[in-house]
Structure 1
Amino acid sequence: MDSAAIEEMFQGLGPVTIKRMFGGKGIYHMGRIVAVEVRGEMLLKADERSASEFAAAGATQWAYEGKKGSPVKMPYWSIPDDAYDDPDLMARWVRLAYEAALRAE
């Protein structure tokens, strides 16, 4: 995903900074990481307060295989499909990601 597409996705939140990391990209707002792009998929930050909302909307939590073969769950979730066609809905999800980022501090 190119920078212009990422900036458009996050326009409901405000300006973002995009940094290369781990072969993907980290998306920051006001100095806090709110999302990562991994293998072309945008994943939004969530926490114990917001993860249930992501799950209820059909989003999936990012996990990778750990050293011992067991999954390691990360605090990032896929974006619900319907948000891609609705800027207001996308704005809601990216705001939830920013709120989770604020609570992580």
Structure 2
Amino acid sequence: MVASASFAEFLREQLAPMGPVSMRRMFGKTGVFCQGVMFGMVTEDTLYVRVDDHNRETFREAEAHPPLNYAKKGASIDLAFWRVPERLIDEPDELVMWARAALAAAHRVAAKRTQAPPRPKRKTRSG
């Protein structure tokens, strides 16, 4: 489920110290972007932020909840997005700190993708 208009506006206001934050619908959820990089996702008006090996310790508190996931062929696939603790909704400075750490992780992921060799194209069947 995508973010409600009121929750999306609330996040834009809370995260304004980071610079312009935009959101767009993707995969039935809402992607949260800054500097053209997706650092978070919202589903059911709950914010999830990008996690990697560098910021995992910062987000240790978020491990209490399962990561954002989706179903594929009957299996649950966990994504590298962890749920932001509800208490941060009332702690805007700390919420921005988490968002900045998530944005840094998103930049690291993007950098790895540009450095990786291109994947071979799949052959298509004709017929």
2:35 to 12, 30, 34: 30
- For residues 18 and 62 of structure 1, the distance between their equivalents in structure 2, rounded to whole angstroms, comes to 17
Aligned to 1:80: 85
* Unpaired stretches in structure 2, ≥5 consecutive residues: 111-127
Secondary structure (helix, strand or coil) at the match of 1:91 reads: helix
Displacement, 1:44?
Answer: 0.9
Tell me how many residue pairs correspond in the alignment: 103
Higher relative contact order (CA 8 A, sep 6+): 1
RMSD between aligned alpha carbons?
1.7
Are residue 102 (structure 1) and residue 107 (structure 2) matched? yes
Larger mean Cα displacement after TM superposition, 78-87 or 26-35: 78-87
- Deviation per residue, 1:25-69 (Å, 9 max, x gap): 111101100111123221111112222332x213432123331x3
The question of whether the paired residues in 2 share the 8 Å contact of 1:12 and 1:94 is answered with no
TM-score (norm 1): 0.84
* Unpaired stretches in structure 1, ≥5 consecutive residues: none
The question of whether the paired residues in 1 share the 8 Å contact of 2:39 and 2:99 is answered with yes
The question of whether the paired residues in 2 share the 8 Å contact of 1:12 and 1:90 is answered with no
Displacement, 1:75?
Answer: 1.1
- Larger strand share, 1 or 2: 1
Identity of aligned residues (%): 25
Aligned to 1:93: 98
Structure index of larger Rg? 2
